[in-house]
Amino acid sequence: MKIIMLGAPGAGKGTQAEKIAEKYGLPHISTGDIFRKNIKEGTELGREAKGYMDKGALVPDELTVRMLLDRVSKNDCKEGYILDGFPRTIPQAEALDAELTKLGEKIDYAVDVEVPDENIVKRMSGRRACPKCQATYHLEFIPPKQEGVCDECGTGLVIRDDDKPETVQKRLSVYHEQTQPLIDFYGKKNVLHTVDGTQDVEDVFKAIKDILK
């Protein structure tokens, strides 16, 4: 069972990927983790990727796909895997598709966790973090006992740059421009399934489990 998680930043696809991984015993694979592991271990692929990153250049899709295929060739991926954060663009999806076809494999499910932009801005701009102990809160869903103060250590809470409304809007714009076309791509392959990500986390997970049956 090979699954791709789609959805805007802040839609909750990472949370759902973790829950799917736990229930079905599948590895949850993010390209960020693959990059960090290869670079840390000094693999040939890692050294190649680091060369681009050190120059401030984007790692080419071809190299990213090679790193991904190296990861999914491991024994723990024999029964399948969940890809989170890849592919992000149509060229990446086409490259992945071509390589999987060569192996006689394909993506079985592309699960799109759909949440309107205004909900995402509200979700993310409500997050607060403790700069000292890293505890996290949400003004609406997990508020601190005392407004603006960490329950754990009493430090003043801050809003991270990534969670500021203007930053969230920029990230959403990039998502709609680059990643949203993937929904059409996987729709044409008849593997796309959309779930309402505005529901409670457990309700979203139940909807995904119904799809994966």
* Marked catalytic residue, from 23, 36, 132, 160: 160
Whether 88 is catalytic: yes
Q: Does the annotation count 47 as an active-site position?
A: no
Catalytic site residue from 37, 50, 122, 171: 171
Reading phi first (left if > 0) and then psi (alpha if -120 to 50, else beta), residue 57 is in beta
**Is 123 an annotated catalytic residue?**
no
Q: Is the peptide bond before 87 cis (omega within 30 degrees of 0)?
A: yes
Spatial separation of the C-alpha atoms in residues 47 and 34, rounded to whole Å: 13
Beta bridge partners of 52: none
Task: Give the separation between CA 194 and CA 211, rounded to whole angstroms.
Answer: 9
- Specify whether the CB–CB gap between 20 and 82 falls below 8 A: yes
Q: Given 50, 66, 88, 164, which residue is catalytic?
A: 88
Among candidate residues 2, 123, 127, 128, the one labeled active-site is: 127
Of these residues, 13, 71, 123, 128, which one is catalytic? 13
Whether 160 is catalytic: yes
71 is catalytic: no
Catalytic positions are 13, 88, 127, 160, 171
